[in-house]
Structure 1
C-alpha cells in the first residue's frame, strides 16, 4: 500500500486530485488543509509521497517541506510541489530535495502522468529495500534475535531484572534490560511509559478503567493481560490518544466530503 498525503486548502482541488487518483491500485489518500494538520498526520501514518500546495494558509508549502526534510523518517521521501505561480524548479530541487514540480493550471492527464511516474519510482524503491529493516523491531533474547512489527507490540513490563514485551501473539522475555532501553529500541512516538514498570503502545489501547485517583488500568483487544497507568504519565497517554482520535476523525470527515 502506497500512502499519499495531499496538503491542499482548496476543497475543489482536493476533490479533483482524489478523482484523478481514484483508479490507482493499492493507494491510500490522506488529506490536510494546512501544514499544521499535515505535521500531525505524518507522525501517525507512514507517508510515501507528499503532494504540497505551495500557497497554504499560515505555514506555506516550502516551509512545510523544510519541516518534512528535518524529520529523519522523511529525509528522502518523495515530494511533489503544486503551485499557482512560476518559481524556478531548480531552486526547489536544491533547497528541499523535491522529486517533481507542477504549476497550475494543469490538465488531469498531466497530473496523472506525474503521479504515475512518482508511484512507479516508489515501487522500484520498495523492491530494492528490505521491509524488515524498516518495519521490524529487533529484541535480543538469551538465545536469539526476535524481530517484531511495531504494530504488533502491545506493551512492555519490567520486574526486578527481567523485562517482558507482550505482542498480540507472543510474550518475549528479556534479561537485564531496563524499560527505558526497550522504549528507545522501539523508537516510536506512540510507544511511551505509562507507569514506572510499564510502557504501552498507545495505538493498541482498547479501554481505560479508572481504579482510583492515582491509578488506572489499560486493556487490549488482543490480550487478556491488563497493565497499570499511573497519574504521573496519564496526561501524556491521554494526549496521544486524543491526537489519534482527532486525526482519524478528520480523516473520516474528509473522506466523506469527497464521496
Structure 2
C-alpha cells in the first residue's frame, strides 16, 4: 500500500468516523483529510497531492458530482481514483457517465464492501504513480511475464499451479505453470496485496468483490469461480 493522502468529503460526522476507521485498518500509511463542504475540499486539493477522493453526493454547499467535475478539470486529477458514496442510488449512472468515477458505494455499506472498493482504488493510484511491476516465471521452454496487479488468484492442483489474471484490455486469462509451490510463488511476488486463503489458493485483495464469511467464499471481479476460505487462513483475510 502506498503512502499518500485520501480526501474525504462528507458532511455526516458519523460516516466520517466510520470511514476513517475503515481506512486505518487497511493501512496506517495513509492520511485521511476530511471536509464537509465541497468548496473547501476543492481549495485543499489544489494545494495538496491527493491519491484518492471519497465524495458524498449530497453535501452542505453543492453536490459531490459537481466537485468531481471541477477536480477532473485540474491537470493533476484527470485520472485520480474517485469513490462516490450516497444513499441516492439514482445518481450512479450520472456519476459514471459524466465524471468517470472509479467506484460507487450505496449507503449503508459494510466494511468489506468499502475495503474492496478502496483497495482497488488505491491499487489504481499506485499504478498511475509508477510503472507497473512485473514478474517473470521461467518454464522449461519459455518465460511467462505477468503484470503483478493483473494476477487475481492462483490455484494449486497436483504439481502445477494455475495463474488466473484479469486485465482491462486483454480480459481474463489462465496459465498453467510447473516448478513452483503456492508458498514459493507468494514469496517471489513479495506483495502484501496477495493473501493465502486456502491450502490450494491465494488471492489478490484488489480483485476481491465480496467475501461471504458464513459461506467461507470469496468472489472476485469478473470471475464466475468462487474461491474457498480455509479455517487455517481466515485470520489473514479478516485482519
If the length of structure 1 is used for normalisation, what is the TM-score?
0.47
Q: Cα distance, 1:2 vs. partner?
A: 2.0
User: Counterpart of 2:104?
Assistant: 101
Contact kept, 8 Å, 2:80 with 2:125, in 1: the verdict is: no
User: How many pairs are equivalent?
Assistant: 129
Unaligned segments of structure 1, at least 5 residues:
130-259
Match of 1:17 among 19, 29, 45: 19
If the length of structure 2 is used for normalisation, what is the TM-score?
0.51
User: Counterpart of 1:225?
Assistant: none
How far, CA to CA, are the matches of 1:20 and 1:121 in structure 2?
A: 19
How far, CA to CA, are the matches of 1:57 and 1:88 in structure 2?
A: 17
Match of 1:35 among 20, 33, 38: 38
Match of 1:124 among 122, 127, 141: 127
Matching of residue 82 in structure 1 with residue 85 in structure 2: yes
Instruction: Give a deviation string over 1:174-194, Cα, whole Å, max 9, x none.
Output: xxxxxxxxxxxxxxxxxxxxx
User: Counterpart of 1:53?
Assistant: 56
User: Counterpart of 1:7?
Assistant: 9
Q: Per chain length, whose mean CA-contact separation is higher, i.e. which structure has more relative contact order (CA < 8 Å, sep 6+)?
A: 2
Q: Which protein is bigger by CA-based radius of gyration? A: 1
Instruction: Give a deviation string over 1:102-146, Cα, whole Å, max 9, x none.
Output: 1111111111111111112222222228xxxxxxxxxxxxxxxxx
Contact kept, 8 Å, 2:81 with 2:124, in 1: the verdict is: no
Q: Which runs of 4+ in 1 moved over 4 A?
A: none
Matching of residue 63 in structure 1 with residue 31 in structure 2: no
Unaligned segments of structure 2, at least 5 residues:
133-239
